[in-house]
Structure 1
Amino acid sequence: MLAIICGVLASGALQAETIAVNQLGYFPTGDKHAYIMSSNIKTVALHSLETGKDVLELDVVDTTTLPDERSLGKIKFSDFSQPGWYQLTNGDFQSVPFLIASDAYRDLNQRLVHALYLQRSGVAVNDTSTGMRRPESHMADGLIFRSDSFHKQGAFLDVTGGWYDAGDFGKYVATTTITVARLLEAYRQSPTLYSSGDTMPAVLQEAVYGLDWLLKMQREDGAVYRKVSGSKWPAKIGPWQDLQTRYIYGVSSPETGKFAGVMAFASRILAPYDAQLARQYLKASIHAANYLELQPEQYIDWQAGDDSGSGPYVKNKIDIEDSLETDADDRLWAFAELYITTGQSKYLDLFKQNYDPKWIDIFEWKNPALMGVWHLILEEQGEFRDTLAKDLQVVADRYVAQAKSSPFQIANQRFIWGSNKMTAEAGILVAWSDFANADKANRTTVQAQIDYLLGANAFDMSFVTQSGTYAVRNLHHLYQIGTGVSLPGFMVGGPNELAQAGVAPKNMGMLSYVDSNKSYAVNEFAIDYNASLIGLLAVHKAYFN
């Protein structure tokens, strides 16, 4: 253990002693916790950078230890509400500056959404905020990879557009549906975060960009193709330089279910802005649902060669969850949204036929059922609604208990690929359970997930690029590695005990992380990672509405 600790500390990834705070700040009337990694300091001062004076003396409490045996204490100052710039200090020992303000996360929210614009495929990107200038890319997407009952191998279908999923150039229905849904729900939950007068706000414009690509991925019978990519992993180049042939890979009932869910949801949210587009989305959703009714069992047109240049997004040696063995969770989301949007009772009946409380967990591409459950809780009344709320609370209580027993109050304790996304989603689930019960009991836990992602962690580092005094710098992103382009507002995957790239330390829980662009298993961005943090900020804001 000591050798591992020394190696991690020597890498510069961890500091032996530090005060870790949310580097983006706190709301004046919100929860405010910080952490000190030191066994010697018992009190700290809250120091105003504007007056140059200490305004509070705070005790270090609730001491525990980290996996590397460092001491960790908590600092609580929630009762302090004066806006301004502050530091926590003890002599020369000090935290980074942080802001107390009602709009502490406004600029971050805008960066997180704008990052999706920077990931667009099929259009030229000319961005004044970052200086990014890149031409159209992948304008020949794509060719059918394997013949099916509608298209022969090598047939061309126009599937240009959409977002690059991560640090390479694959485009996936699985993560695009989840990302779009998170954008739509963030706007529904806290529209004041995105208000832009009578025009469609940027968060919805970005959602439409994703939705329009999804429409292109629907086959004539309503089924939806899974992904678009080359047959080889691309080099460290800009997307316009990736000239390999790009393929469309087979249809899938899980992707079709997610497609149906997000299209029906989008129809409701976007109707006030574009009624014709909303009708188009609903028509596509119903078409997908009709396919599912004719395909009652999970079906995935997948073969081993499909993943030679892209991620599988099916059950594999890394993604092993039980939900990947069925499409019941995907159907639940689809039927819930279609029932709410159309009012047709047959969809509620189908939801009830497929419902099992075991599918309630964080919202992600592996299991999207929660979004449908949440929307039914909002829209329905009566015994079934109350059953859903109670089932949700059981899962929320588990995450709250995990947070209370964890250093840094991290609700998600599965440190695997994409753990930061899971942490954000656990915070959202807890908030939704609070709202379902007209309660604010667990707001502290929700805030703690934001704090952890934005610097209150063992690395004293924000996991979002260019967001905080000490923010992740060495993003695994082929375009950035190849060109050095500025990419602000990109959240990375975070600690991963398996550390498949062989760079981050393994089996160290929340410490299995290193800020290296070689460590794709912990330091790659993905669109659904950003979407989860966008959603977390939206539910947090809703506590104060």
Structure 2
Amino acid sequence: MSIKWGGCVWCFCLLLPFDHYASEVVSDVDIVVNQLGYPRLAKKRAYWINASTTQVKLIDMETGRTKQFPVKINRLRLDQKRTVSTVDFSRLTQVGWYRFQAGKQLSAPFQINDDVYNPLLYRLIRALYLQRSGVEIEDRETGVSRPPSHIHDGLIYRADSFHMKNEWVDVNGGWYDAGDFGKYVATTTITIAHLLEAYRQVPSLFHSVAFQPEELKKSQLPYVLQEARIGLHWLEKMQRSDGAVYRKVSGQHWPKVTGPWNDPQLRYIYGVSSADTAKFAATMAFASRIYAAFDTTEAKRYLNAAIRAWGYLARTPKQFIDWKKEDDSGSGAYMSNVHDTETSLLTDVDDRLWALAELYLATKNEQYKTIFLALYTPEYLDIFEWKNPALMGIWHLILSKKKAFTFLQNDLHAKAAEYAQIAQSQPFFVANDRFIWGSNKMAAEAGLLLAWSSQLAQSLNHSFKYWQYSQSQLDYLLGANAFNLSFVTGFGSLSVKHIHHLYQNASGVNLPGFLVGGPNEHAQAGIAPKGLGMLSYVDNEKSYAVNEFAIDYNASLIGLLAVYYAAFKER
């Protein structure tokens, strides 16, 4: 039986049987790099798997000139047979195209250029447009064209005090969460927050012509905020009259491999959740601050929605989820379950902390700060994700420079030190040692946390060296890994191709700028190899547990790229 791995059989040389339909797949190119490249002043590292000498040759692809760089022989292991060594070429700052050579081995080509990530950042945002629900899609840049889909969303799945079972409520719009057609408050809020934070940090970048699609170049509102509106307007529809927010919209069964307009299922609105209501409150309050500069009426509407959501939370002091097992027969749980077991999912305090921080900053009402201080403990400070979103609010409180929040700076630096220590112990300096569902997102978020800590230290004239580990997360996601593979479709000379995405799988349509979940040692689809940590990956469309895209994955990388761009433009 022949198996096509990654669409490019030639780039993989080690195929060892593992279960009935899975293999350990590692690139036969031993020198791996960030295939997009590096800013001039960035920490620049290449990695050599099983290095055979202490020198490696760098080739200037324009002039043909070569330069020798030392190889730091490490003892960090991919497995029992392979080590990963480091080539540090940070002193190279000349703009151009390069590649490494060792014997007959040639790395992927890469650039040195300060704007090297701009096309990627744009396409990561534009990918959200391709995920829109309920509207016609016409993307001149990719040629993607599809009719409106799921325009009748949706029916109340289970009666509550406000709606009858099967009552229709308009929840049309928003983004499809991933490769199927579910829409979730949990990931929509996280995605919007990253878009807003990216704009907040480097507004000049997003006002540039390069970040406006052709059809929107005359708009006064930057495209990144126009796209965020798609999620915000859908979220507004998901709020109940008492302030509570419904969790998700989907069919009762997992859809077939088809375009979304062909999905025949009735679509249901599933019960409210206090955690999702808190995420909603935080996102709306944050949005009110950002959009106030463009539309005060819109900003007030968002803030009022956030305040109503907090009213519900104030009346519901403990975590509440209107959930039954059948709710997840055709969609993801996005709550504590057999796959997502983090202790943060057993409480909604982390979600409330984010909401309280954003409400305080939006309203200046001291009651929100008082409740935040009463609830907060350092255990809630970790990477920003739907499982624990507290960090975004903590970061914004730190930026407010209030003396009451100086303790949060110390907690942030302490958590960053933990992730830096993980990076030091891992091949490719990956600041994540939990290779589970969405591990690529977790690596990006760890890079962002490290960057925020470094950014804060830099503003206080302290010397923090965590920028190098933020760069390492970008490098890993964009090719400096055991597979010599960029985990973002269409970016890098060798990028993931066979993503789990029902529309792409059915039509073959080109979807560039989609970040996949990455190595997952549980490999729930039974395709990728299990139990191999960062080697538990395969580029196969059936392997949904490692190769599915999700909007919050893209959002994490958007966040990391934005903070990185700001850092190097400020130097």
Name the CA distance, whole Å, in 2 between partners of 1:11 and 1:304. Answer: 33
1:308 is aligned to 2:320: no
Instruction: Please report how far the alpha carbon of residue 485 of structure 1 lies from its aligned counterpart in structure 2 after TM superposition.
Output: 0.7
Counterpart of 2:436 in structure 1 is 416
Deviations 1:279-314 (A, max 9, x none): 110010001011111111111000011001000111
1:109 is aligned to 2:114: no
Residue type of the alignment partner of 1:486: N
Deviations 1:248-305 (A, max 9, x none): 0001100000000000000111111121111110010001011111111111000011
Q: Does the CA contact (< 8 Å) of 1:5 and 1:68 recur in 2? A: no
Which residue, 228, 232, 248 being the options, matches 1:207? 228
Which residue, 57, 67, 74 being the options, matches 1:63? 74
TM-score scaled by structure 1? 0.97
Q: How does 1:15-414 map to 2 (within 5 A)?
A: 15-54=27-66, 56-64=67-75, 65-67=77-79, 69-196=81-208, 199-382=220-403, 384-414=404-434
Instruction: Please report how far the alpha carbon of residue 13 of structure 1 lies from its aligned counterpart in structure 2 after TM superposition.
Output: 3.2
Name the CA distance, whole Å, in 1 between partners of 2:468 and 2:34. Answer: 13
Residue identity over aligned pairs, in percent, reads 56
The DSSP-based 3-state class of the residue aligned with 2:87 is: strand
Name the CA distance, whole Å, in 2 between partners of 1:38 and 1:326. Answer: 45
Deviations 1:422-469 (A, max 9, x none): 000001111111223234421101000000000000100000000000
Instruction: Please report how far the alpha carbon of residue 539 of structure 1 lies from its aligned counterpart in structure 2 after TM superposition.
Output: 1.3
1:492 is aligned to 2:502: no
TM-score scaled by structure 2? 0.92
The DSSP-based 3-state class of the residue aligned with 2:100 is: strand
Name the CA distance, whole Å, in 1 between partners of 2:295 and 2:465. Answer: 38
The DSSP-based 3-state class of the residue aligned with 2:326 is: helix
Instruction: Please report how far the alpha carbon of residue 182 of structure 1 lies from its aligned counterpart in structure 2 after TM superposition.
Output: 0.5
Name the CA distance, whole Å, in 1 between partners of 2:71 and 2:57. Answer: 11
Residue type of the alignment partner of 2:498: N
Runs of at least 4 residues of structure 1 off by over 6 A?
none
Instruction: Please report how far the alpha carbon of residue 189 of structure 1 lies from its aligned counterpart in structure 2 after TM superposition.
Output: 1.6
Instruction: Please report how far the alpha carbon of residue 29 of structure 1 lies from its aligned counterpart in structure 2 after TM superposition.
Output: 1.3
Instruction: Please report how far the alpha carbon of residue 16 of structure 1 lies from its aligned counterpart in structure 2 after TM superposition.
Output: 4.2
* CA 1:392–1:40: 2 relative to 1, 3 Å: same
Instruction: Please report how far the alpha carbon of residue 71 of structure 1 lies from its aligned counterpart in structure 2 after TM superposition.
Output: 2.5
Instruction: Please report how far the alpha carbon of residue 92 of structure 1 lies from its aligned counterpart in structure 2 after TM superposition.
Output: 2.5
Instruction: Please report how far the alpha carbon of residue 11 of structure 1 lies from its aligned counterpart in structure 2 after TM superposition.
Output: 5.5
1:474 is aligned to 2:498: yes
Instruction: Please report how far the alpha carbon of residue 5 of structure 1 lies from its aligned counterpart in structure 2 after TM superposition.
Output: 7.0
For structure 2, list consecutive stretches of 5 or more residues without a partner in the other structure: 1-13, 210-218
1:13 is aligned to 2:25: yes
Residue type of the alignment partner of 2:301: Q
Name the CA distance, whole Å, in 2 between partners of 1:44 and 1:257. Answer: 52
Instruction: Please report how far the alpha carbon of residue 113 of structure 1 lies from its aligned counterpart in structure 2 after TM superposition.
Output: 0.3
Residue type of the alignment partner of 2:496: V
Alignment RMSD, CA only?
Answer: 1.4
Counterpart of 2:215 in structure 1 is none
Instruction: Please report how far the alpha carbon of residue 68 of structure 1 lies from its aligned counterpart in structure 2 after TM superposition.
Output: 5.0
Residue type of the alignment partner of 1:174: A
Q: Does the CA contact (< 8 Å) of 1:67 and 1:509 recur in 2? A: no
Residue type of the alignment partner of 1:6: L
Counterpart of 1:512 in structure 2 is 536
Name the CA distance, whole Å, in 2 between partners of 1:435 and 1:73. Answer: 28
Deviations 1:513-545 (A, max 9, x none): 001001000000000000000001011112222
Name the CA distance, whole Å, in 2 between partners of 1:434 and 1:132. Answer: 40
Instruction: Please report how far the alpha carbon of residue 350 of structure 1 lies from its aligned counterpart in structure 2 after TM superposition.
Output: 1.1
Residue type of the alignment partner of 1:468: G
Residue type of the alignment partner of 1:38: N
Name the CA distance, whole Å, in 1 between partners of 2:371 and 2:24. Answer: 54
Name the CA distance, whole Å, in 1 between partners of 2:65 and 2:414. Answer: 46
Q: Does the CA contact (< 8 Å) of 1:106 and 1:193 recur in 2? A: no
Q: Does the CA contact (< 8 Å) of 1:17 and 1:38 recur in 2? A: no
Deviations 1:23-54 (A, max 9, x none): 01000111100101133233111111111111
Counterpart of 1:541 in structure 2 is 565
Instruction: Please report how far the alpha carbon of residue 381 of structure 1 lies from its aligned counterpart in structure 2 after TM superposition.
Output: 2.2
Name the CA distance, whole Å, in 1 between partners of 2:478 and 2:497. Answer: 14
Q: Does the CA contact (< 8 Å) of 1:120 and 1:161 recur in 2? A: yes
Name the CA distance, whole Å, in 2 between partners of 1:340 and 1:96. Answer: 46
Name the CA distance, whole Å, in 2 between partners of 1:187 and 1:490. Answer: 20
Residue type of the alignment partner of 1:156: W
Name the CA distance, whole Å, in 1 between partners of 2:435 and 2:401. Answer: 35
Deviations 1:197-246 (A, max 9, x none): 77211111111110000000000000000000000100000000002100
Name the CA distance, whole Å, in 2 between partners of 1:341 and 1:259. Answer: 14
Deviations 1:101-137 (A, max 9, x none): 0100010001100000000001000111111110000
Counterpart of 1:527 in structure 2 is 551
Q: Does the CA contact (< 8 Å) of 1:165 and 1:527 recur in 2? A: yes
The DSSP-based 3-state class of the residue aligned with 2:128 is: helix
Which residue, 455, 460, 468 being the options, matches 2:479? 455
Which residue, 450, 454, 468 being the options, matches 1:444? 468
Deviations 1:389-422 (A, max 9, x none): 1111111100001101111000011100000000
Instruction: Please report how far the alpha carbon of residue 491 of structure 1 lies from its aligned counterpart in structure 2 after TM superposition.
Output: 0.2
Deviations 1:72-127 (A, max 9, x none): 21100101100001111124311111010010001000110000000000100011
Q: Does the CA contact (< 8 Å) of 2:29 and 2:106 recur in 1? A: no
The DSSP-based 3-state class of the residue aligned with 2:101 is: strand
Name the CA distance, whole Å, in 2 between partners of 1:20 and 1:347. Answer: 48
Q: Does the CA contact (< 8 Å) of 2:40 and 2:95 recur in 1? A: yes
For structure 1, list consecutive stretches of 5 or more residues without a partner in the other structure: none
Point out the more displaced range, 348-357 or 64-73. 64-73
Residue type of the alignment partner of 1:503: I
Name the CA distance, whole Å, in 2 between partners of 1:17 and 1:479. Answer: 32
Name the CA distance, whole Å, in 2 between partners of 1:84 and 1:365. Answer: 39
Residue type of the alignment partner of 1:101: N
